[in-house]
Amino acid sequence: MTVDNKSTGKGKKLIIFGFVTIAILFWMYNRYQDPELFTPSAIDSIQRIAFGFYIVLAVAFGGIAFGMYRYHKEKVAIKGKDLSTIIALTTWNSKSRKIFVAVFIGYGIFFSLVSGTLVYQPEVSFSYHYGAEIPSGFIAPCCDGPGYMPKIIIYLTDHIGLQIIPINLVLQVIVSYLVGLNAAIAVSAYSISKKGRGASSIGAAAGLFIACPTCAGTFLSIFIGTASGIALSIALTQLQTVFIAISIPILLVTPYIMAKKLRNADGSCKIDNTR
């Protein structure tokens, strides 16, 4: 099968377009975070804009996912000798796909618990303390920093709920994807050095805290006391960019480190599991 250079760029363009769309979406919605805009006559309009926000976000995610699939497939079809092709060839088989899906879902759930997206508060009654109807849900359109609004609040039971924050959702998908990709490559490349596996583990662990550092403080307060936990959560909030800087680049670089170990001297892939 022959794939020209023009064709191989279509997947990459979809990925870039998806992320640019998300960035513009966050920037545009931030213009509605002025409490003075929330007059009785404007509330319904801003609420509809909040619904539209998540529709566009879902479409952007779909475009990125399709772009990733297409880019991956194009790399396999070309069978080049660059590291991206090595990664594609290594993971383009049913076993790697199953591992990726399992890790992506499992890590996503774990990330949700740590970041506060999935909320479990056995000591709090949502119906009593918040006057919530069980089950129910709503979109809170205002007001917070860029990427933190509009927020979706869902009460599943009297003690279990969802708090979906846009920036947390985006980071959760990105980090879960990268962890799943690392796991799929690592299984195929079982002979990789301990240094490569360690780098991937560090990235995954750090990635747990990048979406909601304040939740990390709350989590740690269980062990070190509430007052200390609150102080720590404030400190972790200030270090959010550090967590992002550490985890995502590591998770991005590690597949290429592993790919180098799977490349023959002539640049071809040692493992060509395309079945």
pLDDT average, residue stretch 239-260: 73
pLDDT average, residue stretch 8-13: 81
pLDDT average, residue stretch 198-202: 52
- Please indicate whether residue 51 or residue 77 has the higher confidence score (pLDDT): 51
pLDDT average, residue stretch 123-141: 86
Task: Answer yes or no: is 209 within a domain.
Answer: yes
Q: How many helices (H) and strands (E) does the chain have?
A: 10, 4
Task: Answer yes or no: is 55 within a domain.
Answer: no
pLDDT exceeds 50 at position 195 = no
Across the beta sheet with 136-140, what order do the strands follow? Answer: 118-120, 160-164, 151-155, 136-140
| pLDDT at site 200 | 53
| pLDDT at site 55 | 95
How many Å apart are CA 63 and CA 14, to the nearest integer? 6
| pLDDT at site 237 | 45
Q: pLDDT tens across 157-189, in order?
A: 988 889 888 988 888 898 889 888 888 887 776
| pLDDT at site 219 | 44
- What is residue 93's three-state secondary structure? coil
Q: pLDDT tens across 57-108, in order?
A: 999 999 999 999 999 888 888 877 788 888 888 888 888 888 899 989 988 8
**In degrees rounded to 5, what are phi and psi of residue 193?**
-70, 160
CA angle in degrees (0–180, nearest 5) for 165-222-110: 45
How many Å apart are CA 73 and CA 79, to the nearest integer? 10
Please tell me the total count of domains within the chain: 1
**In degrees rounded to 5, what are phi and psi of residue 272?**
-120, 70
| pLDDT at site 172 | 85
pLDDT exceeds 80 at position 206 = no
| pLDDT at site 94 | 84
Mean confidence (pLDDT) of the chain: 75
CA angle in degrees (0–180, nearest 5) for 267-104-176: 80
In the beta sheet, which residues pair with residue 162? 118, 154
Task: Answer yes or no: is 105 within a domain.
Answer: yes
In the beta sheet, which residues pair with residue 138? 153
Task: Answer yes or no: is 81 within a domain.
Answer: no
Task: Answer yes or no: is 186 within a domain.
Answer: yes
Task: Answer yes or no: is 253 within a domain.
Answer: yes
| pLDDT band at residue 264 under the 50/70/90 scheme | low
In the beta sheet, which residues pair with residue 119? 161
Domain limits at 180? 94-116+166-270
pLDDT average, residue stretch 7-19: 85
pLDDT average, residue stretch 115-142: 84
| pLDDT at site 18 | 95
Task: Answer yes or no: is 109 within a domain.
Answer: yes
How many Å apart are CA 249 and CA 117, to the nearest integer? 23
Task: Answer yes or no: is 198 within a domain.
Answer: yes
